Structures are given as C-alpha cells and as structure tokens.
Amino acid sequence: MWGLTLGTALVTGVASGMGQATAAMFLERGWRVIGLDSCPDAGLDHPHLTPVTVDVRDGAAVTDAIAGAMSEVATGLIDAVVNVAGVYPPTTLATYTDDDFRVIFDVNVLGILHVTRASVDHMGPGSAIVNFASVDAFTVSPGQLLYGASKAAVVMLTKALALELAPRRIRVNGIAPGWVDTPGNAATGRMAEAAATIPLGRVAQSAEIAEWVWILTGSGQAGFVDGETIVISGADVMR
C-alpha cells in the first residue's frame, strides 16, 4: 500500500518524452502516479509510481489494468488523467497503408477513448483529464497526413468529452505542443532546423509541457477552463 500522497494521476506514454516528464512532475509534487505504457520499462523509479504495461489500443486490457492498479489506491479515486501516448510515423497520400491508418488512429484516438472510459468511474467532481493533441491538428505538416488528422480528431474528442463529462464536474482539456526536445523528435535529426524557424528561437523542453498539465489539473488555477486545447509552440503556430 502506498503512503500518504496529495493526489493520484494516471499518465499514459510514461516510458519516454513528455509522458515521462509529466509522470515525474506529479511525483515531484507528492502525487502517486499510475503510469501506462506498452513498454515494460517506465524509465522512472519512485515508491509512488505504479508502472503498468498495457497497449492502449486494447480496451478490455486497459480496463482491467486500471482496475487492478486502483485496488492499491487508498482513496479509490483518480484526480487527473493525462493521455500522452501517441505515434507519428510519416505518411502521405502515396505512401499510407491501411495498417498505418489503424496504428495511428488506434493509438492516438481510440487509445484516449479506452483510457478515459476506463478511468471516469474512478474519478470524482473536481478531477480533470488532459489529452495531448499537436500543433499539427491546426496546421499542415508535410508528410504527416494521418498523424495530423488523428490529432485534429483529438481536439474534437476533447470538446465532446468536456461537454459529456461536465455534469459530473470532470473537466477535459487538451494540449497541442509544437516542437519539443524528446527522444522521438531528436531521432528525426530536424530539431536544430526546426528551432531556427520558431520565433522564440528554440524548441520546448518536456518539463515545460508538463507544467501546463499541472496548470490544467493539479494547480487549482484552471477550474473554469473546459473543452479547450492550448497551443504551446513558441509562437510558431497561433490560432
């Protein structure tokens, strides 16, 4: 059984990048974290972290995994759900395949639905959900045909879920990062080139994105913000 903590957050995609930074942020602030990832190594070691290996595309497995993890939570409640897990293989009209479509939409869109549906019965009034979209939901990124479409879907899901869950006083918001210094983005070899085009002259750090998760969930500063997706791009993309 975990010791006393200030809240419970469920975070997906904790094995790297922004998901890992978000989990670390909650842990540093005294929260317990249930960390979901398809990779068995969460990359974090903390007494208040429960790593759960699960594929968010499998709705039944997600439901069972969350129920099992919640059996160890004294309060029985999740205070924040953060849907970070995502994939972004490049696609164009000429190169996409049916498998590309299924993988991208099943992880980026269906995964959010699975995790949200499995979590809401463990959430109470005042809790919050944050979905990770992308600036590609609002602007066209060449070579990201299906990824951009999936993230546009996340923005609409965020609005629809906010309206549906508002009577339960569960808020749902989104974050749409631009270029962020993550292992996945670093592997593209394009971050220096991208930074040169960003008005603020740099890419974001994962910890900066995690701070916005805190603002929208645990800080108490955004209690009347619901159904919005906040763009974090250094003025690269504005809407």
Active site residue ranges: 147
Question: What letter represents residue 179's amino acid?
Answer: W
For 147, residues 6+ apart whose C-beta sits below 8 A from its C-beta are 87, 88, 89, 90, 91, 104, 108, 134, 136, 141
Q: Which of 26, 11, 15, 74 is nearest to 218 (CA)?
A: 26
Q: Say what angle helices 111-120 and 145-165 make with each other, to 10 degrees.
A: 20
For residue 143, list its beta bridge partners: none
* Rounded Cα distance, 1 and 233, in Å: 40
